[in-house]
Structure 1
Amino acid sequence: MAFKVVVADPKAGKSYQYEIDGNELLGKKIGDEINGSIVGLEGYKLKITGGADKCGFAMRHDIHGAMKMRVLLREGPGYNPKESGIRRRKSLRGNTISKDIVLINTKVLEYGQTPIGE
């Protein structure tokens, strides 16, 4: 199973994309900390911040499980209203990584010896 993992570096203000094959991320949730060696970053610690499935539906932290749901939203991840007070029903993915997820967003919590760009 192939995942695209986007690693955001808050110090540099840049993002780096890695493609990995493996099942070690299955079952992890948004907010979990993972070892950077999964994507080839030895000594790094990463935090899962979100993702998207194969159809482009975003993951949301407050939907538990791995299923896709239609949720009534007024703000937050997955919906940006044009005016305040407007609500809309949107399809979103749960907070658990499953086989349907293809993109995983992470950010660096602890840095290792080598810079990320190398």
Structure 2
Amino acid sequence: MPTDAQPLLVAVSTKDQHQIDQHFGHADVFAIYALDDAGARFAETREVAHYCQGGYGDEDKREVILRTLADCTALFTARIGDGPRSRLEAAGIQAVDDYPYGAIEPSLCDWFAKR
């Protein structure tokens, strides 16, 4: 990636701000990170109403989440169902659940290096 390129923004569903430790449907805050050749840097948090409502998903809340994460390239989460995964990917956001309970920054850097 050229050094003058804008960093990629990615969202992380995390309870403790250290690990990728939350299910997508239970997240009410997403940590946003900027990724580039220099590494991963925390940028901000974005609050949303969590999507999962006791076994089913609230479509209106999922649409708000999609708009909230629209500028993100990927969403890192401990777990995600097939329906939300498909909706994210249709919106151009890659759902990444390959690093459950991994430390955030090393996991993001590993994913970025493999792109």
Instruction: Report the TM-score range of the alignment, normalised by the length of the smaller protein.
Output: under 0.3
Q: Which one has a larger percent strand, Structure 1 or Structure 2?
A: 1
Q: Which one has a larger percent helix, Structure 1 or Structure 2?
A: 2
Higher RCO (CA < 8 A, seq sep 6+): 1
In our comparison, the structure showing a higher alpha carbon Rg is: 1
